[in-house]
């Protein structure tokens, strides 16, 4: 009786092991299990990319961060009498009028430098900026502000620089034959929170009669932006960097990129931005002896009763990113998203060989092949950090294809079948590389490729009688 039961179990086990349906279910479960190392690889790619960003932030934080140059802008305070509705005494408050340049021309030469922290490359730069232009004569009559209420002696010129650690030399305003040094920080009523300023008391009365010039030696990292405060703003930039990315609200009017670097020029009119050339602003009270905060919190206004503010001004900036070709993390992540497709197609080829050639491939052998296919992505990630994505892709794919080819040759004991598998894997990995490179047409190429693969599979399996097919020893 026990012998009969044992023979029955052996027959059931043999039937199951030879069942095509059971084999398909086993392969499907194995593919699902391989999702676990796939998710771990995705996490590893994201972690490495985050580590790169942290390294860049660490280096740039010590050097100087991205720079945004805003200005210059002329700030002139004036007195305003406030008549309250109740019985409280009238108060005098200090408000600020802001005037922007009639013309603003910027010439910049950007010299990039490379810094390394471990295997990560960080791009920093030194920029030589020359700002020239002219301010209009301040006109308070449009706001009905008498000259006696204007505090000319407290007029300030502000120049916005987003990271003051980048200033390498003393910055001065050249006006006519005279040079006036800037002071750190911005004055009350400034458009930016960070920058430098200069009192204009000695020259404010005839400030509009002369063209100004400001020379700045500035350090920064990765990005350099300008804010078009002039009624007519023109920016010209030259650099030896070969991979610029022009960004912001305005693209260059003219640009040229070549093996020796790039040249670009922008021209922005005041019609192109959403703020005027002058407006009035409020900030401080005038007490009996001291200036106090304006408790009324009145909105910033300019003629036409249209509100303006810092956000509107900052939104008009434009400039350049010194782009670093570090897209191997994104490409590695995109490659890993196709891992299930690669595994499925590879397993499909081995399964069809089992069915058509009446061979047996053990589940453990499928596991080893699946792990070899997953190792490809860790090789791709690690090698791409040193040699770039394209080289890493082919080194990794050739290594994995060679490994599977040698293993399948031993498992199948048939060099012809091993050669067929190797050729198919080369086509699959070449197809994946093509999809990653042509991102714009990736969906189209992928859809056509999958259609062809499905059509070939249907053609070569059209004569198989699946209900009668078994996997034999």
Mean of pLDDT values over 361-390: 85
Q: Choose among 367, 303, 342: nearest CA to 426.
A: 342
pLDDT more than 70, % of the chain: 84
Q: What is the pLDDT of residue 1?
A: 53
- Largest Cα–Cα separation, the chain: 120
Question: How distant is the alpha carbon of residue 326 from its chain centre?
Answer: 10
Q: What is the pLDDT of residue 303?
A: 34
Q: Is 146 helix (H, G, I), strand (E, B) or coil?
A: coil
Average pLDDT value for the chain: 79
Which backbone phi and psi does 253 adopt, to 5 degrees? -70, -40
pLDDT band of 298, cuts 50, 70, 90: very low
C-alpha–C-alpha distance, residues 291 and 283, integer Å = 10
Say which residue, 269 or 327, is predicted with more confidence.
269
| pLDDT tens sequence across 182-235 | 999 888 878 888 899 988 887 777 777 778 899 999 999 888 999 999 999 999
Q: Choose among 234, 197, 179, 199: nearest CA to 72.
A: 197
Q: What is the pLDDT of residue 28?
A: 81
Residues facing 75 on adjacent strands: 98, 156
Residue 231's CB is within 10 A of a number of other CB atoms, namely 19
Please state at what angle helix 415-437 crosses helix 339-357, rounded to 10 degrees.
160
C-alpha–C-alpha distance, residues 312 and 403, integer Å = 59
Q: Is 111 helix (H, G, I), strand (E, B) or coil?
A: strand
Say which residue, 327 or 409, is predicted with more confidence.
409
Look at residue 145 and tell me whether its pLDDT is greater than 50.
yes
Respond yes or no on whether the N-terminal peptide bond of residue 61 is cis (omega within 30° of 0). no
Say which residue, 119 or 65, is predicted with more confidence.
65
* Residue showing tokens 């019609």: 271
pLDDT band of 331, cuts 50, 70, 90: confident
Q: How far is CA 101 from CA 81, 212, 317, in A?
A: 29, 10, 16
| pLDDT tens sequence across 96-112 | 888 999 999 999 999 99
pLDDT band of 442, cuts 50, 70, 90: confident
| pLDDT tens sequence across 148-186 | 888 888 889 999 998 899 998 999 888 877 788 899 988
Lowest mean pLDDT among 5-19, 166-180, 222-236, 274-288: 5-19
Contact 79, 153 (CB under 8 A): no
Contact 195, 158 (CB under 8 A): yes
* Residue showing tokens 């400030």: 207
Residues 6+ apart with CB under 8 A from 415: 409
Mean of pLDDT values over 73-100: 80
C-alpha–C-alpha distance, residues 109 and 328, integer Å = 30
C-alpha–C-alpha distance, residues 368 and 294, integer Å = 74
Q: What sign results for the dihedral spanned by CA atoms 413, 415, 421, 422?
A: positive
Q: What is the pLDDT of residue 88?
A: 65
Mean of pLDDT values over 407-427: 83
Name the burial class of residue 98, with classes exposed (0-12), middle (13-18) and buried (19+) by CB atoms within 10 angstroms of its CB.
Answer: buried
Residues facing 256 on adjacent strands: 263
Q: What sign results for the dihedral spanned by CA atoms 372, 375, 376, 379?
A: negative
Q: Is 265 helix (H, G, I), strand (E, B) or coil?
A: strand
Q: What is the pLDDT of residue 387?
A: 84
Tokens representing residue 318 in the block: 């434009």
pLDDT band of 4, cuts 50, 70, 90: low
Q: What is the pLDDT of residue 308?
A: 37
Look at residue 341 and tell me whether its pLDDT is greater than 70.
yes
- Which long-range contacts (C-beta less than 8 Å, at least 24 apart) are formed by 11-17? 17/471
pLDDT band of 11, cuts 50, 70, 90: low
pLDDT band of 466, cuts 50, 70, 90: low
Contact 122, 114 (CB under 8 A): yes
Mean of pLDDT values over 60-76: 86
Residue 222's CB is within 10 A of a number of other CB atoms, namely 20
């Amino acid at each position: 009786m026990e012998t009969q039961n044992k023979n029955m179990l052996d027959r059931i086990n043999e039937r199951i092991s030879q069942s095509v349906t059971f084999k398909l279910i086993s392969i499907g479960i194995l593919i699902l299990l391989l999702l676990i190392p796939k998710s771990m690889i995705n996490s590893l790619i994201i972690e490495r990319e985050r580590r790169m960003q942290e390294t860049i932030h660490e280096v740039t934080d010590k050097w100087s961060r991205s720079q945004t140059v805003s200005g210059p802008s002329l700030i002139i305070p004036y007195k305003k009498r406030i008549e309250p509705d109740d019985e409280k005494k009238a108060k005098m408050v200090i408000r600020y009028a802001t005037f922007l340049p009639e013309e603003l021309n910027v010439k910049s030469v950007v010299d990039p430098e490379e810094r390394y922290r471990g295997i990560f490359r960080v791009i920093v730069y030194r920029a030589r900026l020359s700002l020239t232009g002219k301010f209009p004569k301040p006109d308070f009559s449009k706001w009905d502000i008498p000259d006696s209420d204007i505090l000319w002696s407290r007029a300030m010129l502000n120049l916005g620089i987003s990271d003051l650690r980048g200033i390498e030399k003393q910055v001065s305003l050249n006006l006519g034959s005279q040079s006036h040094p800037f002071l750190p920080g911005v004055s009350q009523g400034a458009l930016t929170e960070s920058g430098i300023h200069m009192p204009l008391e000695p020259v404010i009365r005839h400030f509009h009669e002369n063209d100004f010039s400001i020379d700045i030696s500035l350090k920064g990292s990765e990005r350099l932006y300008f804010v078009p405060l002039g009624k007519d703003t023109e920016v010209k930039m030259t650099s030896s960097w070969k991979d610029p990315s022009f960004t912001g609200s305005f693209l260059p009017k003219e640009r040229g990129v070549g093996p020796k670097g790039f040249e670009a020029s922008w021209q922005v009119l005041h019609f192109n931005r959403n703020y005027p050339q002058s407006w009035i602003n409020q900030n401080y009270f005038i007490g009996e002896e001291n200036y106090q905060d304006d408790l009324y919190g009145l909105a910033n206004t300019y003629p036409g009763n249209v509100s303006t503010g810092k956000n509107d001004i900052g939104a008009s900036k434009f400039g350049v990113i010194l782009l670093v070709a570090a897209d191997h993390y994104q490409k590695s992540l995109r490659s890993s998203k196709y891992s299930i497709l690669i595994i499925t197609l590879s397993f499909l080829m081995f399964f069809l060989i089992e069915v058509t050639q009446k061979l047996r491939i053990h589940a453990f052998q499928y596991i080893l092949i699946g792990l070899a296919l997953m190792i490809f992505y860790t090789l791709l990630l690690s090698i791409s950090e040193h040699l770039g994505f394209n080289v890493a892709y082919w080194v990794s794919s050739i290594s994995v294809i060679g490994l599977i080819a040698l293993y399948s040759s031993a498992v199948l004991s048939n060099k012809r079948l091993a050669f067929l598998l190797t050729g198919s894997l080369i086509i699959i990995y070449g197809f994946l590389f093509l999809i990653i490179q042509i991102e714009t047409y990736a969906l189209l190429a992928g859809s056509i490729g999958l259609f062809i693969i499905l059509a070939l599979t249907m053609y070569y399996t059209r004569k198989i009688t699946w209900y009668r097919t078994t996997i034999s020893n």
